[in-house]
Amino acid sequence: MATKSSSTSVFLFIFIFCIFIISQAVSDDDRKVYIVYMGERPNGEFSAERLHINILEQVLGSGGSSSLLHSYHRSFNGFVAKLTNDDAHKLANMEGIVSVFPNQMKQLHTTRSWDFMGFSKNVIRTNLESNIIIGMLDTGIWPESESFNDEGFGPPPKKWKGICQKSSNFTCNNKIIGARYYKADKNFHPTDIQSPRDSEGHGSHTSSIAAGALVHKASLSGLASGLARGGVPSARIAVYKICWADGCSDADILAAFDDAIADGVDVISLSVGGSFAIDYFNDSIAIGAFHSMKNGILTSNSAGNSGPQLASITNVSPWSLSVAASTIDRKFFTEVKLGNGEIYKGTSINTVELKHNLYPLIYGGDAPNTKKGYDSSESRYCSEDSLDKALVKGKIVLCDSVNSGEGPLAAGAVGAIMQYYLDSAFNFPLPVSCLGSDDGTDVSTYLNTTRKPKANILKSIEEKDEQAPYVISFSSRGPNPITYDILKPDLTAPGVDILAAWSQGTTVTGYEGDNRIVPYNILSGTSMSCPHATAAAAYIKSFNPTWSPAAIKSALMTTAVPLSLETNTDAEFAFGSGHLVPSSALDPGLIYDAGEIDYVKFLCGQGYDTETVRLVTGDRSKCSDSINGTAWDLNYPSFALSATPGKSTRRVFHRTVTNVGSGVSIYKATVKAPPGLEIEVQPNLLGFKAIGEMKSFIVKVKAKIDGNNITNMMLSGSLIWDDGLHQVKSPVVAFALEEE
Ligand SMILES: *[C@@H]1O[C@H](CO)[C@@H](O)[C@H](O)[C@H]1NC(C)=O
Ligand SMILES: *[C@@H]1O[C@H](CO)[C@@H](O)[C@H](O)[C@H]1NC(C)=O
Ligand SMILES: *[C@@H]1O[C@H](CO)[C@@H](O)[C@H](O)[C@H]1NC(C)=O
Ligand SMILES: *[C@@H]1O[C@H](CO)[C@@H](O)[C@H](O)[C@H]1NC(C)=O
Ligand SMILES: *[C@@H]1O[C@H](CO)[C@@H](O)[C@H](O)[C@H]1NC(C)=O
């Protein structure tokens, strides 16, 4: 989604700019939209609106009620209001309020993948799978897609309390059992459809990855052809449309959580994030995920597409699952053929077979749109408007960077060769191939030394990638910027070049000039890996309906397969516990469980006070000597230790595991540690006599990271509990933080 999100932000900027002018003209209003978060909802009946108006009137006087935009009350307490900075500040200091933060826009983190994970369509399933409801918080859904056909489905499960929001021309069925949409600011863009219908494509794509029906012979114009299917094809989908042309607002994200939890979904999938990590209770996604955890619902989040920079991950709360994106063993290549017979292999997804054998080739830098004031320093990048139509029309243009392709298309080019290596293949609105720098230089030399240079761009081909899986460069990396000592991301799942359902309300790229309306499309992003993990969580829950969100998460993490450190130089910061293996997660042996009280201890230890903790939990929780845990003692299925370079750091981690494997069993601890890391487990044998029995142990870790060797900044070790049948794996990592 890299190409797409950059154009979204440009668009977003223009859009915000227009609104700014309009609102300036209407009034001199310096109020902004804020979220006022008040924690758990009071027990029993309460009039949320009256309570919220009352609070607003205390600060704003009798006219306070007019600034209330939305009340949250079904699953937690809080409201959305238009406030000045001063008023927001006053509210933040009032009793009963956890946090006040400005409403901001988050962005989308834009079928063979299941087979690649060893999860065939014939894996054992339970009839209870059709009782599982997945809440998709996204751009909506295209209900007529074959992937959402409800053939063979009975009526919705009895526990379902949601609705199909009445709107023109959108109907639910027994597959899509509920659908709602949210837009607190009511600023609709012309391409927005005011219904749960998906005009973007993203929500249909993610929903079908998680729970799409089996659809044979699905492909994008013949590419990635085969059986398209979701991870849990019998599960139900509940749609919560929160993302629109201008992004996904915090106010709408929280409104969707408020409803989804009360509606009775089993798992929540959210492939959306902000641009940087923020404090848990200033983050709509972390707040929503906390209340879903309290209600037994796991939230599966995309890690983000801001890699490979370290600490770029944004969805980091310990009560949710953070999913990185890795490759599958299929890779797309697009060949470039030159007039001299040379052929170069680039990356992209090109569905088009061009008519002629060769087309004239021109360098973008030689075709500036001088009439509009562009020179070759701009046109070499083929940016929008910078190319001269008269020179480019009917030709293939060579560009010095990767761009959306809109510039060459608008100038009438038949294709574009872009110079920059991409490790994943993206869609463009015209035939494009992205070449590595050596190949790009060859093409440039050929162009400069040939009287009539010619080229062609062929339709993409698929090849097997023997190196897969590896975490893709765009996938956001750890460490966790909010709590260093909780390892994030948690695991990785397929998120590169995934075929899944698409919206008929848009085209392959959504760009002007693209006329390809398709039922299935190929996309990359942690947006695509997240619903793979969501489905795996739903699969586990269909067999173990009473398992807590932490138990499900533990099963997914301790059975994941760590990836090669050679192809993944950022190690656990890239893949967390490893690559998801849904069928192994069904039989994890032991689980690291955690409930609300464990997160309360963690929050106390992170410096939140009793008042905040009480509001968030809605009970008499109290931070005290005994209710005060370090990050190392949260019963997490992985171990992370931040250390000062050049000094030795020691930590003791307390953990408790619950036996969910064989009744009578003995587990032995095995540790692996590189030089510089010492790991000791006490006791190193755990004997169980029954299912459900719990045993505690401690892990003592000593780490010394060489302050003079940056390549040694992370030490990757592991702990495996093994009873001969189950290997319960946890990464144990130590890493250096920069010296203060
Ligand atoms: C939460 O956001 C508010 C408003 O931007 C800010 O004043 C406050 O410091 C933030 N709190 C934390 C803990 O980051
Ligand atoms: C409703 O949507 C479907 C799917 O796009 C379309 O075929 C149909 O014409 C629409 N009907 C109306 C009344 O807009
Ligand atoms: C080809 O010529 C352009 C100037 O038109 C120059 O910028 C580019 O570096 C040349 N390519 C090579 C490989 O020398
Ligand atoms: C919790 O522990 C931290 C340090 O581990 C300490 O600073 C804090 O005062 C403790 N809080 C309570 C309420 O005991
Ligand atoms: C830094 O660590 C790497 C990996 O262990 C090692 O190969 C390299 O020789 C070290 N470099 C120095 C300058 O010590």
Residue 299's CATH number: 3.40.50.200
Which pLDDT band, with edges at 50, 70 and 90, does 13 fall under?
very low
Angle 33-39-40 from CA coordinates, rounded to 5°: 130
Q: What φ, ψ does residue 665 adopt, rounded to 5°?
A: -160, 155
CA of 169 to the centre of ligand 2 (A): 6
Angle 539-545-550 from CA coordinates, rounded to 5°: 80
pLDDT per residue as tens digits for the range 257-266: 999 999 999 9
Is 250 in the same domain as 135?
yes
Any residues with CB less than 8 A from the CB of 56 and at least 6 apart, and which? 64, 65, 67, 68, 81
Q: Is the backbone peptide bond immediately before 469 cis, with ω within 30 degrees of 0?
A: yes
> What pLDDT score was predicted for residue 660?
98
- How far is 11 from 16, CA to CA, in rounded Å? 9
Domain final residue, candidates 400, 435, 463: 463
- How far is 259 from 414, CA to CA, in rounded Å? 48
* Neighbouring-strand partners of residue 297: none
Among all ligands shown, which has an atom nearest to the Cα of 676?
Answer: 5
CA of 164 to the centre of ligand 2 (A): 17
Angle 643-647-650 from CA coordinates, rounded to 5°: 60
Half-sphere exposure of 73 (CA within 13 A, CB side): 11
189 is an active site residue: no
CA of 713 to the centre of ligand 5 (A): 10
What does the pLDDT average to over 236-244? 97
Cα pseudo-dihedral 306, 308, 310, 315, rounded to 10: 40
Asked whether 242 and 196 are in contact (CB, 8 A), the reply is: no
> What pLDDT score was predicted for residue 538?
98
Asked whether 455 and 336 are in contact (CB, 8 A), the reply is: yes
Q: Which residue among 705, 712, 715, 716 is best mutated to probe the pocket of ligand 5, counting the most ligand atoms within 8 A of its Cβ? A: 712
CA of 704 to the centre of ligand 5 (A): 14
Residue type, 333: F
Q: What percent of the chain has pLDDT over 70?
A: 94
- Taking alpha carbons only, the member of 322, 307, 321, 277 closest to residue 475 is 307
Which pLDDT band, with edges at 50, 70 and 90, does 127 fall under?
confident
Helix (H) or strand (E) holding 397: strand 396-399
The alpha helices in 606-644, defined as continuous H runs, are: 610-617
Domain final residue, candidates 412, 429, 463: 463
The answer to whether position 572 is within a domain reads yes
> What pLDDT score was predicted for residue 501?
97
The answer to whether position 396 is within a domain reads yes
User: 455: domain CATH number?
Assistant: 3.50.30.30
Is the minimum distance from the CB of 169 to ligand 2 under 6 angstroms? yes
Q: How far from the centroid of its chain's Cα atoms is residue 734's Cα?
A: 25
Domain range for residue 278? 113-327+471-584
Q: What φ, ψ does residue 720 adopt, rounded to 5°?
A: -125, 125
The answer to whether position 24 is within a domain reads no
Is 218 in the same domain as 362?
no
> What pLDDT score was predicted for residue 738?
65
User: Would you tell me how many other CB atoms lie within 10 Å of the CB of residue 582?
Assistant: 25
User: 95: domain CATH number?
Assistant: 3.30.70.80
Which pLDDT band, with edges at 50, 70 and 90, does 26 fall under?
very low
Among all ligands shown, which has an atom nearest to the Cα of 142?
Answer: 2
- How far is 260 from 251, CA to CA, in rounded Å? 14
Is 173 in the same domain as 309?
yes
> What pLDDT score was predicted for residue 378?
94
The answer to whether position 704 is within a domain reads yes
pLDDT per residue as tens digits for the range 49-64: 999 999 999 999 988 8
Specify the ligand 3 atom closest to the Cα of 448.
Answer: 1
Any residues with CB less than 8 A from the CB of 584 and at least 6 apart, and which? 559
CA-nearest residue for atom 12, ligand 3, is: 445
Is 314 in the same domain as 417?
no
User: At 662, is the secondary structure helix, strand, or coil?
Assistant: coil
Is 413 in the same domain as 485?
no
> What pLDDT score was predicted for residue 181?
98
Q: How many independent structural domains does the chain possess?
A: 4
- How far is 606 from 619, CA to CA, in rounded Å? 19
Task: Output the pTM of the full model.
Answer: 0.92
Q: Say if residue 394 is exposed, middle or buried (CB neighbours under 10 Å; 0-12, 13-18, 19+).
A: exposed
Any residues with CB less than 8 A from the CB of 619 and at least 6 apart, and which? 40
- Taking alpha carbons only, the member of 684, 426, 720 closest to residue 557 is 720
> Measured between alpha carbons, how far is residue 348 from residues 340, 359, 398, 404, 435 in Å?
23, 19, 15, 12, 9
Say whether pLDDT at 737 is over 60: yes
- How far is 680 from 669, CA to CA, in rounded Å? 9
CA of 36 to the centre of ligand 1 (A): 12
Is the minimum distance from the CB of 36 to ligand 4 under 6 angstroms? no
- How far is 209 from 315, CA to CA, in rounded Å? 20
Asked whether 499 and 234 are in contact (CB, 8 A), the reply is: no
Q: Say if residue 199 is exposed, middle or buried (CB neighbours under 10 Å; 0-12, 13-18, 19+).
A: buried
Among all ligands shown, which has an atom nearest to the Cα of 361?
Answer: 3
Is the minimum distance from the CB of 712 to ligand 5 under 6 angstroms? yes
Report DSSP letters for 7-31, one per residue: HHHHHHHHHHHHHHHHHHHH-----
CA of 419 to the centre of ligand 3 (A): 13
Among all ligands shown, which has an atom nearest to the Cα of 628?
Answer: 4
Domain final residue, candidates 104, 127, 153: 104
- How far is 415 from 433, CA to CA, in rounded Å? 9
Asked whether 488 and 479 are in contact (CB, 8 A), the reply is: yes
Is the minimum distance from the CB of 34 to ligand 1 under 6 angstroms? no
Cα dihedral across residues 484, 487, 490, 495: positive or negative = positive
Q: Catalytic pick from 52, 70, 109, 202?
A: 202
> What pLDDT score was predicted for residue 167?
83
> What pLDDT score was predicted for residue 14?
29
Specify the ligand 4 atom closest to the Cα of 610.
Answer: 13
138 is an active site residue: yes
> What pLDDT score was predicted for residue 10?
28
User: 667: domain CATH number?
Assistant: 2.60.40.2310
Q: Which two tokens stand for residue 679?
A: 């790991």
Is the minimum distance from the CB of 628 to ligand 4 under 6 angstroms? yes
423 is an active site residue: no
Is 484 in the same domain as 552?
yes
- Of residues 416 and 713, which shows the higher confidence score? 416
- How far is 76 from 227, CA to CA, in rounded Å? 41
* Neighbouring-strand partners of residue 267: 134, 298
- Average pLDDT of every residue of the chain: 92
- How far is 481 from 483, CA to CA, in rounded Å? 6
Look at the block and give the residue holding tokens 């240079």: 453
Is 318 in the same domain as 336?
no
User: Would you tell me how many other CB atoms lie within 10 Å of the CB of residue 438?
Assistant: 9
Is 123 in the same domain as 254?
yes
CA of 503 to the centre of ligand 2 (A): 13
Between 28-32, 250-254, 308-312, the lowest mean confidence (pLDDT) is in 28-32
Query: Which amino acids bring their CB within 6 angstroms of ligand 3?
Result: 363, 365-366, 441, 444-445, 448
Q: Say if residue 363 is exposed, middle or buried (CB neighbours under 10 Å; 0-12, 13-18, 19+).
A: buried
CA-nearest residue for atom 14, ligand 1, is: 279
Between 6-15, 193-202, 262-271, 289-298, the lowest mean confidence (pLDDT) is in 6-15
> What pLDDT score was predicted for residue 385?
94
Asked whether 548 and 223 are in contact (CB, 8 A), the reply is: no
Is 643 in the same domain as 661?
yes
Q: Catalytic pick from 87, 138, 252, 439?
A: 138
Q: Which two tokens stand for residue 606?
A: 């992170």
Among all ligands shown, which has an atom nearest to the Cα of 444?
Answer: 3
pLDDT per residue as tens digits for the range 169-221: 899 999 999 999 999 999 999 999 999 999 999 999 999 999 999 999 999 99
> What pLDDT score was predicted for residue 113?
47
Q: Which two tokens stand for residue 440?
A: 């790009």
Is 86 in the same domain as 184?
no
Is 475 in the same domain as 459?
no
pLDDT per residue as tens digits for the range 360-372: 999 999 999 999 9
The answer to whether position 370 is within a domain reads yes
User: Would you tell me how many other CB atoms lie within 10 Å of the CB of residue 61?
Assistant: 8
Task: Compute the chain's Rg from CA coordinates.
Answer: 26
Longest Cα–Cα distance of the chain, Å, equals 83
Is the minimum distance from the CB of 99 to ligand 1 under 6 angstroms? yes
Is the minimum distance from the CB of 279 to ligand 1 under 6 angstroms? yes
Say whether pLDDT at 407 is over 60: yes
Say whether pLDDT at 20 is over 70: no
What does the pLDDT average to over 215-237? 95
Q: Which residue among 35, 282, 283, 606 is best mutated to probe the pocket of ligand 1, counting the most ligand atoms within 8 A of its Cβ? A: 282
CA of 582 to the centre of ligand 5 (A): 37
Is 442 in the same domain as 518?
no
The answer to whether position 623 is within a domain reads no
- Taking alpha carbons only, the member of 360, 471, 466 closest to residue 417 is 360
- How far is 732 from 643, CA to CA, in rounded Å? 13
CA-nearest residue for atom 12, ligand 4, is: 624
Angle 572-574-579 from CA coordinates, rounded to 5°: 80
Which pLDDT band, with edges at 50, 70 and 90, does 123 fall under?
confident
The answer to whether position 603 is within a domain reads no
The answer to whether position 76 is within a domain reads yes
pLDDT per residue as tens digits for the range 703-726: 998 877 666 688 999 999 999 999
Say whether pLDDT at 6 is over 50: no
